[in-house]
Amino acid sequence: MQRYQWVRGRVPNGFWKTRANRVRYMVWLGSRLGFSKRADWYALTRQHFMDNWGGGLLAMIYGDSPLTALRDYAPRYDWKPWLLRKAPQGFWADPANRREYMRWLGQQLGYKKPADWYAIRKHHFVAHRGDGMLSNYYRNSQIDAVKEYLPRTDWKEWLFHEVPQGFWQEAENRRRYLSWLRGRLRVREPKNWYRMTRAKLIQYRGATLLQSGYSTSKLLREYLPDYEWEPWRFERVPNGYWHRPSNRKRFLAWLGTHLELEHPDEWSDVSRLDIRDAGGGTLLTHYYNNSMSRLIRDARRVHEPTPRRRAA
């Protein structure tokens, strides 16, 4: 009589219903496959049963599920289904399974607090056998996965490696970002926003916002539409701004007040550096072709006293 009944091709009726027989088979199978430690069993597949006289066991007792076989064989071991060659069918459809995976993933990555999740990248899911979950349930968005896992956290999407597609097209998202940035830059009143530059936006994770076609002035005019902005005080004036006579006139009127000029003749003392420091460098170079005389001529016209009408 052969030692292993299953090798004979057919086992006696009711043989597999006895757990001792099932465990004996699994021990034998592990030896044949070279599995020396528990983690080796994650390589187990349906084909291994089929090739080693265990197809009937797998089908009749375990419902064609290698995971069920492993849990029966070593019920005290904390099996992680996603580490199998293939997760069980429908496994990721259960939110509890997705939460269990995310909890485990955080442990593997050493995450201790919610903010640590801002470092998550797609390759972390790939390396830890969660890419199927990510693609099938989160549209390949690690942010969506994290949001479902920790829904009570006030997530700042721009602090992740990349924002979701179309994120900056939503006005509410731009508003949320600027409200957050206001605290980082310690902006206490609207005029403080003039010190915001493209470099600061990039520094504070707004690079993709700039790439979406939003300049600093455009963002702030949208954020505080009722404030009377002076565009020349931004790092860059909007394209085509100086082509409008009313904009040039407004700047020159403001500049005279800013430089405390009381008479048109005092414009002769204004230097190119004064113009540049006040934010009119591109006006001088692009519109006036770097001609101070032309700029001063227009400035004097703006500041000429209005003639008084004679009494009738």
Q: Looking up tokens 């830059």, which residue turns up?
A: 185
pTM: 0.83
Range 44-54 average pLDDT? 96
Q: Which long-range contacts (CB under 8 A, 24 or more apart) does 64-71 make?
A: 69/22, 69/26, 69/44, 70/41, 70/44
Residue % of the chain over a pLDDT of 90: 90
Interval 161-171: pLDDT, tens: 999 989 999 99
User: What residue spans define the domains of the chain?
Assistant: 5-79, 91-155, 167-229, 241-303
If pLDDT is split at 50, 70 and 90, which confidence band does 1 have?
Answer: very low
State the Cα angle at 49 between 43 and 51, rounded to 5°: 105
